[in-house]
Amino acid sequence: MNPQPFLKLDRVIHEKGRLGILSMLAASPELSFIELRDALGMTDGNLTTHIRTLQQAGYLSVTKSFQNNRPLTTCALTAAGRKAFANYINLLEQIIRQARPE
Amino acid sequence: MESNWAAEHLQVIRTLMERAALYRRALAPIMSFNGIVGLAAAALGWALQVGSPRAFILFWAGVGVVAVAGSFLLVRRQALKESEAFWSPPTRRVTQAMLPPLVAGLMVSVVVLVRAGPAAGQPDKLEGLLWLPLLWVVLYGCAFHAAGFFMPRGMRLFGWAFIIGGCGLFAGGAPSWAHPLDYGQGIMACFFGGLHLAYGVYLYFTEHRRNAA
């Protein structure tokens, strides 16, 4: 088997928590911090760390606002994040295709 | 081995993407509210003898406005409680999916109201218009069926109940023994009151458990 696709997998995305965040944001234009936390079953601290990592990689944009005097943090994929996620999916599909008997 | 792992990853991604796109507000209070409004309105309409086509259409249009406004208030309250945006992408999707059949129902009602002219105010003319509440029922079912693609699976079945029920009654025709006023209000009470309330009660006992799972 050609190990190339596996080696090309993006290490930032290739982590369960961060992959979950990107998967959810790929299906929705934006999601709040609480929606992500509840859907992924993460702690506040854990989610914050992953969001920061994704933000530093340029994959995520975070908007902080107020709604009825309550802070509202929303996350969205950047164009780079969407592209990186699509590449990641393509590589996974490539791995599966390679392993499939001809 | 690697391919198994990759396939599992893709499955997790698919599940999470579906979950993100799904409408997650608690529907039990919304359904129960609409059921109670429907039953109360039908009882009121029956008590006030709202029997002419014009009065019937305007009365139920008013009830519709109350039901929609109340539903949005309940959604907004839930959103605020959970520190989430009210007009979230799933809410937008559900609203957009429901709009075409609801707008069609509204337009047909307006046309009927305008075309019927002065006769629309006569109580005995409702008999010829009993297809209208059934059309509302069917279109409402279509709206819920469309929204069901962005909501829990049961919502599509709920839509089908309206569609099949409405079409069935249309095929059967109004029974000769029933007074048009009673029949018209009865259709509205059964579908918009009874069905909503029954589904609301069902969701009350099942929704929390399903969301927790």
Q: What does the pLDDT read at residue A79? A: 93
CB A51 within 8 A of CB A45: no
| Dist CA A41 CA B5 (whole Å) | 22
The predicted-structure confidence for B142-151, as pLDDT tens digits, reads as follows 999 999 888 8
Q: What is the pLDDT of residue B125?
A: 62
Which residue, among B61, B69, B47, B71, has the nearest Cα to B132 in the 3D structure? B61
Q: Which of B6, B19, B88 sits opposite A95 (nearest CB)?
A: B6
Q: Does B73 touch chain A (CB under 8 A)?
A: no
Per-residue pLDDT tens over the stretch B125-141: 666 677 889 999 999 99
Tens digit of each residue's pLDDT (9 = 90 or more) over B2-58: 667 788 888 888 888 877 767 767 788 999 999 999 999 999 998 888 878 888 889
In a domain, A102, yes or no: no
pLDDT tens digit string along B162-179?
999 999 998 887 777 777
> Which of A7, A23, A24 is most worth mutating to test chain B (most B CB atoms within 10 A of its CB)?
A23
Strand pairing category for A31-32 and A60-67: unpaired
Report the pLDDT value the prediction gives residue B165, as an integer from 0 to 100.
95
State the average pLDDT over residues A43-52.
Answer: 94
Are B195 and B158 spatial neighbours (Cβ–Cβ below 8 Å)? yes
- For residue A28, being part of any structural domain is answered with yes
Q: What is the pLDDT of residue B211?
A: 46
Average pLDDT of chain B is 84
Domain assignment present for A48: yes
Q: How many structural domains does chain A have?
A: 1
pLDDT-above-90 percentage for chain B = 44
Confidence of residue B188 (pLDDT cuts 50, 70, 90): very high
- For residue A51, give its domain range: 4-92
Closest among B23, B4, B6, B17 to A20, alpha carbons compared: B17
8 Å CB contact of B21 and A28:
yes
The CATH number given to whatever domain includes residue A57 is 1.10.10.10
B18 CB neighbours in chain A (<8 A) are 27
- Count up the domains in chain B and report the number: 1
Enclosing domain of residue B80: 2-212
Higher pLDDT, A24 or A100: A24
pTM, entire model: 0.69
For an interface test with A, the pick among B5, B8, B17, B18 (most A C-beta atoms closer than 10 Å) comes out as: B17
